[in-house]
Amino acid sequence: MAKLRPGLLFAAAGCGAIILIALLGPALFAGPANHVELDQRLLPPSALHWFGTDDVGRDLFVRIVFGARVSLLAALSTIAIGLTGGMLIGGFAGLVGGWVESALMRMIDAILSVPSLIVALALAAALGPNLRNAVLAIGLLSIPVYARVARAEALAIVGRDYVKAARLMGASNLHQIRANLLPNMLPPLLVYATGNVGAALLATASLSFIGLGAQPPTSEWGAMISASRSFLFSHWWYSFFPGAAITVTVSLFTLLGDALRDLLDPRERPR
């Protein structure tokens, strides 16, 4: 840690800024996200409207600022679902071992061999098109990924002496999970999850673009791009800025994930 890591610093500052925008932006920048002004329709970027306006005269900059909260919250929610489910299943498998573990892991492996986003698409369609269902579908189908990592962590923890000692002294599985497994599994899993924020955001934005996620007039970035499709050839800024917001945000979170992993794993191994 003697050396300052510019990459980590840059990524952390960038992600911090976006989180701040998501938290405070709507309060700081004037005007509600759905403020319609029909005489201000489809204006190009200007000093007044930095990113221009959309087809009903809403300011795109304001909508993108509001969208930061929606998009980021959706992405983080998918991760919360995947992480929680994965920790429970993976942690349990690692703790009990034996045939229960092999059966669980076989199942996990089988689901991992399925193109999860396509299945998430079908699941979201079956649940009904709204952002909550899209988040649920993506989150549920990401559980196996986290379960694998969680099991590996759990196995390492279960092998430690104090855990063995606790087991010898008759600690129940439930107690072991609460006292020993969860607190020790969480930090490495959180680092792993940070690396997935970008992918989660891309997935939720894609589902919204398709029409399965956020519905208009919600100012979610993917849904905004979807709404801009009919204006692609005439009003470039309408599709450009929401997509740029996604790209910048996902890039920063990907960088942060990479930098955190490099920090914990000194062997250089991006991927």
Partner 1 sequence: MGAGRADPLMAAASFLVRRVLATFVVLIAVTILTFVISHVIPGDPAQLIAGPRAGAAEVAQLRHALGLDRPLHEQYATYVVALLHGDLGASIVTGQPVLREILDRLPATIELMGLALLLSVAVAVPLGVIAAAARPSPLDTVLRGLSTVAISTPRFWVAMLLLGLFYGALQWAPPSGRLSPGLTPHELTGLLTLDSLLRGDWRLLRDATAHLVLPVAALAIGNIGTFARIIRAAMIEVLAQDHIRTARAAGISQARILSVYALRNALLPFVTIAGLELAGLLFGSVTVESVFAWPGIGSYLLDAILDLNFPVIMGVTLFVSIGYAVINLLIDLSYRCIDPRLRAPAG
| Residues that bind partner 1 in the complex, under the rule CB under 8 A | 106-107, 109-111, 113-119, 121-123, 125-127, 198, 202, 205-206, 209-212, 222, 225, 229, 232-233, 236, 239-240, 243, 246-247, 250-251, 254-255, 258, 268-271
| Cβ proximity to partner 1, 7 vs 16, nearer residue | 7
Residue positions counted in the chain: 271
In whole angstroms, what separates CA 31 from the centre of its chain?
27
Q: How far is the CB of 77 from partner 1 (least distance, A)?
A: 19
Least Å distance, CB 95 to partner 1, is 24
The nearest distance, CB 107 to partner 1, in angstroms, is 7
Angstrom CA distances, 194 to 79, 83, 114, 184, stand at: 9, 11, 23, 17
Estimate the crossing angle of helix 116-127 against helix 131-158, to 10 degrees: 130
Give the nearer residue to partner 1 in terms of CB position, either 22 or 140: 140
Torsion from C-alpha of 229, 234, 237, 240, nearest 10 degrees = 40
Nearer to partner 1, 82 or 95 (CB): 82
CA within 13 Å, CB half, 173: 9
Smaller CB separation from partner 1, 54 or 258:
258
Minimum separation from the CB atom of position 31 to partner 1 (A): 25
Distance between CA 105 and CA 107 in Å, rounded? 5
Shortest approach of partner 1 to residue 111 CB, angstroms?
Answer: 6
DSSP sequence for 205-220: HHHHHHTSSSPTTS--
Enter the tokens of residue 19: 């989180």
Nearer to partner 1, 15 or 163 (CB): 15
